[in-house]
Amino acid sequence: MSSFVRQKGRYFFLSNSHSLYRGATGTVPVATKFFVQNGAAAGVLPTALTRVPTVAQLAPSTGATLRSVFFPFTKFPSPASKTPTLRITILKRAMATHRETGGSWRSGGGSGGYGSSKFRRIVSYLRVPLAFTAGVLAFNAIVLPFAFQIPGVSTLQRRPELLVYGLMAANIAVFAAWKAPRAFGRQLYRYGLLHKDAQFNKWSMLGSAFSHQELWHLGINMFVLYQFGIPLAKWVGGQSFLEMYLGGAVLSSLGSMALPVLANAYTPWAVALANVPSLGASGAIFTVFGAFSYLVPYARLSLFFVPLPIGAWYVFLLTMGYNGLGMFYRFGMSDYAGHFAGSAVGILWGWIFSERVKKQRQVTLRRYGN
């Protein structure tokens, strides 16, 4: 113990001086909070489920900044205990080098041949997210058509803009809940953050798509949803729009979990963030933007009231390319994988809807042509 303190003690105190000060006035013993926060700082640890090797770099200022961005609340009850405590401290991390890991992750490791154990780990990691995604898509295909026949709900089919307003109201309500962590912190931590480790909850694949902690994040997403969502909902109808929105939300969450793991496993240059919690409606918003751009590719857009010289489709492709590069080369802390997956879903859904329109037009022509 004495050798451990000599080697690591100064890092503990450097990174937690502010937390120790706050812990002295809270309801949690300082020592408990101290070691809960720093269990992972003592050495090099792999990510819990993905086992993507990472090297923990002790950087107190960066850790404190990231902690304030992702976990601004500090005193809500944890899922595992009724005693208020801060569950997670995000440290600055960098991907381990090939030499440091001995090639164990990218080469597959084990005796099952190249990539066999690696593939099994990925399948095991994605089993529950894939099953939940399939369930949501089945709900969209089977339950939503019947739900929109209910008298009260059928109004949304005739006035689909009300559905968009309802989605915006839900996002605003969750944002307001983040401002009351003592009342809602435990629920938001469980269902409003998309965890990608042992704390993963399948319902957070949808809940995180309605969750924002920052006003600017909420404002941008709701502005884009208002601008593109209302005309798109009027074109396709309330049922189809809700089907697209929920599908984009859950599939972007799946992409947020799957794409970084696949990139880190099969591309030697990737440094995708595979274990950082994420939240926000951006994935579903990119689905809306992608479908809109596919259906009306030459629509002219403006950026801060300045008209852009290219059509909506080319603007969308630029954003999708940026998100693809960001996923591989990690420009910052944005969830580029979720954005990219949502964009792909938007293209797919736009194509599906255009094919539906073509088939309906052919049926109409045959009916009146005879």
pLDDT of residue 108: 42
User: What residue type is assigned to position 357 of the chain?
Assistant: V
78 is catalytic: no
343 is catalytic: no
Phi-psi region of 184 (alpha: psi -120 to 50; beta: other; left: phi over 0): alpha
pLDDT of residue 58: 31
> CA 346 to CA 344: how far, in whole Å?
5
Tens-digit pLDDT profile for residues 222-266: 999 999 999 999 999 999 999 999 999 999 999 988 887 887 777
Least confident of 213-222, 279-288, 299-308: 299-308
Do residues 191 and 202 lie in contact, with contact meaning Cβ atoms separated by under 8 Å?
no
| Mean residue pLDDT across the chain | 73
Query: Confidence band (pLDDT; 50, 70, 90) for 273?
Result: low
pLDDT of 115 > 80? The answer is: no
Name all domains of the chain by residue range, CATH numbers in brackets.
Answer: 2-101 (no CATH), 124-369 (1.20.1540.10)
50-59, 280-289, 297-306: which is most confident: 280-289
Q: Which is catalytic among the residues 211, 256, 278, 339?
A: 339
pLDDT of residue 31: 39
SS3 call for 84: strand
> CA 3 to CA 320: how far, in whole Å?
51
pLDDT of 277 > 90? The answer is: no
Least confident of 3-12, 16-25, 129-138: 16-25
pLDDT of 98 > 70? The answer is: no
pLDDT of residue 103: 39
**pLDDT: which is higher, 119 or 75:** 119
pLDDT of 44 > 70? The answer is: no
Q: In 3D, which of 87, 68, 71 has the Cα closest to residue 79?
A: 87
Q: Which is catalytic among the residues 252, 278, 282, 343?
A: 282
Least confident of 227-231, 334-338, 341-345: 334-338
pLDDT of 94 > 60? The answer is: no
Q: What is the mean pLDDT of residues 23-43?
A: 38
Determine how many CB atoms are found less than 10 A away from the CB of residue 17: 11
pTM: 0.68
pLDDT of residue 117: 78
